[in-house]
A and B are shown apart, each in its own frame.
Chain A
Amino acid sequence: MITFVARRALYSLPVILVASFVLFWAVRSTFDPLAKLRQVNDPQAIQRAIEQMGLDRSIPEQYLIWLRSFVTGDWGVSSRTGTPVLPLIGEALWPTLQVAFWGLVVAVVIAGAISVFSAVRQYSIGDHILTGASYIGIAMPAFWFGLILIQTFAVWPREAFGLAEPPLFFIGLHSSGSSDPLDYLRHLVLPVSALMIALVATWSRYGRAAMLDALASDYVRTARAKGVPRRQIIWRHAARNALAPFVTVVALDAAVLLGGLVVTEQIFAIPGMGRLFLQSLVAADVYVLLPWMIVVAVAVVICNLLADLGYALLDPRVRLR
């Protein structure tokens, strides 16, 4: 197993390096690193910046300078905020990780349950209802669903029952200065719900199909013929095998979530990676955009690695390849 992990990790390194160069080239070719400075009437400042950042050199040279600094932890200073980029991304990553983690956990549990139920009771009324609901979930825009949740669980109850405060909050992940777990939970419910709806809808479709395949397989038929109890067939034989392709989908979506919570974070005022990306993009803050993209690219690679590991754990044959 260790060899397998080490080999996959080594394979990932050149991928990250190539990705980082492509991203560097794309960002430097698209954005003006001096955009912010140009808004100040100080030509000397621009000249200073050009010399400091080596902007008069070729792209490969600039990349090497940047890479050296990046790997030693010097991620530069944001042109928007004037603060170091590393803590800026670190601070943004934490709220995103929290929402993404809880969203994934809840979505996996619900999608898994729906998948098994729909497959075991194929074409039942329940299966039809869940199938229809999943199509609605897939089609529903995240921002719209988020606003519906806010109206239903925060605004309406307060207005209808004259409450002093809404039962569920939707601004940030905790009230100002509060570390109360209940307060945290009341803040978490709505963004996590908004996030997981599309995931549950999509994953339950994958899961249902995988479960149906598994239930129709020879080994399940054999197990049935041998008189293995139904519960054991479903969960031990079919579900475990159906889980393998499901893991890959979950892992890939998890990676995308780290950088793709833009809408959720905007609506729920969560200071995470999506919002940081949006702010940096509008301000043409290349000093943040580039490391941000690298972090997301690394997350994709890591999640792929985790997917491979998960696959290997679920299917021992993978380790032999």
Chain B
Amino acid sequence: MRISPRSASTRKAALAAAVSMTLLVGALTACSTSEPQPPAQDIQDGGEITIGAEAEPDCVDWISICAGSIWGNYILMAETIPPVFNTRLVDGEWTPVASSLVTEEPEAVIEAGKQVITYSINPDAVWSDGTPITSADFAYSALQIRDGVDIFDKTGYNLIESVDASDPQTAVVTLSTAYAAWRTLFSQFGLLPSHILEGQDRAAAMVDGYEFSGGPWKLDSWVRGTSMTLVPNENYWGEKPHLDKVTFLFLPDTTAAFQALKSGEVDALYPTPQADAISQIDAGLPGISSQVDANSGSVEAIWFNNQAFPFDSKAVRQAVAYSIDRQAIVSRLFGDLGIDEPLQSMNSPLVGAFAGDDFSRYSLDLDKVTELMEGDGWTRNGDDIWEKDGETASFTILIWAGNKRRELTAQVLQSQLKDAGIEMSIQATTPAEAYSTLVPNGDYQAGLWSIIDTFPTPSLSASFVSTNIPTEANDFSGINFVRADIPGLDDLLIKVDTELDTDARIAASLAADEIIADYVPAFPLQTVPNVLLWSDKLGGPIEINAVEGPFWNLEAWGLVG
């Protein structure tokens, strides 16, 4: 699944982008600057720590729109909701790995054109009240998502024909057609306890938090606006937490959060790498360890409205791409973190195996701009701006108000484009306004935002397949916000979604990448690195997981003995 602005198969970006939790990557070039993980330190059992969290989840019903809160995922969902697949780094690639919830890798076979997936449930797996996790929980979770209202994303679940829960230890799920990303099922949303929620209004039952847990931690308290506190789930069947309590303090102001880390009021931070955060890291933080990881799942790009002037012209889109010095932008933004390579695919590094490097053809080349614009009938006017049929090559780009990194990016873009004879103005708006009206209605020319992959499977179809253009026909629910209808692309991206053979999927994805780079419906800039900072009094292993966040192994954290 990809967290992009709104719903459909890839989304989560609405809120993710809203809170600017765009954690990005440099190129797929493995420009990861992660420092080598120090050997596990001696840590003691017991003690409490406090972690600064940039954003508070608005709500915690993880299959509704609450799932859009990336911080909610990090600090509560990942600690309490059991998934079938975890994401782990295997041979340098982020890969779905079966969790301890199941006894073996689930089996998926095609029978009479339908896909049948069998999950064998670990008999040791229990909820925090001691009730075993059974196939009934699979059935409940699947049907809540498939048939429920206000569900965040039904992709994949809408293909479920039946869930056989006759054997409590085995869940058999039948999909109507082949679904390549089947591992996302019960992984991104995990499982909910049927014995607690069945027959209840789920959203109401979970509105102020929940007591159940199928993970190593459970929610102890949630003081809205202030903090969320976790304590160990004594009935967890896996590794038990070393710490007695973890409190997440909600600190929206980055500068104050850094001061809190330095003063010892918090023990760890996972800040969005805005300019001020980077300067603080660059200046040095005594007694603080850090990890910078460029191998994230987000793609920050310029998104063109392909049906709006002047981006209804392929030549103009390409000319813009040749007008921008992406390397300079990335160096300016993240050079202090050792990251300076732009992204060369609309696929994030999280799905690096599916990504080509076709956008590498675009580097600053003003002669090429002239060739493309003149070839498309444009001429320079007295102000040295391209003009055609009385209209100048001018456009407005949407950015999110308050996001300093994007403000800076837009200012640099503005300057670079001016040199190439293209005028750009900047319009600050809120993600809510953009994703609810401006963007789906096509009332924009270009925008600067991120999409985030939340599972290591490619999902560009939602953003670029023509049937996903928001229209009255689909109740404006599609998220092909660039309104692209590119010859030959739909078939390839659909093949990526449905083909079960990995090699064939990769081949289709690479071919799609090439077409996307040629038509430039959007222009990738960079991935935003993930940054984790922690006090030296903490021991681990402490390491960023590009998908599950920095706290994916919080149970292994402890105070250094």
A binding-site residues for B, Cβ under 8 Å = 32, 34-45, 80-83, 88, 91-92, 146-147, 150-151, 154-155, 158-159, 164-166, 169-172, 176-177, 266-269, 271-272, 275-276, 281-284
Contacts and interface: CB of A to CB of B under 8 A. Distances in A.
Contacts of A43: 475, 477
Nearest to B9: A41
B265 A171 contact: yes
A266 B263 contact: no
B224 A81 contact: yes
B7 to A, nearest CB: 4
B436 A170 contact: no
A270 to B, nearest CB: 8
A175 to B, nearest CB: 9
Contact of A91 (B224, B256, B430, B440): B224
B149 A38 contact: no
Contacts, number: 152
A171 to B, nearest CB: 5
Contacts of B8: 41
B396 to A, nearest CB: 20
A284 B429 CA distance: 11
A34 B435 CA distance: 11
Contact of B14 (A39, A147, A169): A39
B436 A38 contact: yes
A281 B431 CA distance: 11
B101 interface: no
Contact of A35 (B5, B223, B249, B433): B433
Interface stretch (B106-114, B225-233, B289-297, B386-394): B225-233
A186 to B, nearest CB: 11
20 contacts: A32-B433, A37-B150, A39-B65, A39-B435, A40-B7, A42-B149, A45-B149, A81-B59, A92-B225, A147-B256, A159-B286, A165-B263, A166-B263, A166-B265, A170-B259, A170-B260, A176-B50, A177-B229, A266-B252, A284-B432
A273 to B, nearest CB: 11
Contact of A269 (B150, B253, B262): B253
A157 to B, nearest CB: 9
Interface of B: 5-8, 11, 14-15, 18, 50, 58-59, 61, 64-65, 68, 149-154, 203, 207-208, 223-227, 229, 247, 249-253, 255-256, 259-260, 262-266, 286, 402, 430-433, 435-437, 440, 475-477
A92 B56 CA distance: 15
Given A40-B152, A82-B58, A267-B256, A176 B265 contact: no
Contacts of B255: 147, 267
A32 B437 contact: yes
Contacts of A92: 225
B427 to A, nearest CB: 16
B263 A176 contact: no
A268 B257 CA distance: 9
A35 B436 contact: yes
A81 B58 contact: yes
A97 to B, nearest CB: 14
Given A40-B65, A154-B259, A283-B430, 4 more contacts: A36-B436, A40-B151, A158-B263, A169-B265
A55 B151 CA distance: 23
Contact of A147 (B64, B247, B259): B259
B479 to A, nearest CB: 9
Contacts of B436: 32, 34-36, 38-39, 284
Given A35-B436, A36-B432, A40-B65, A155 B263 contact: yes
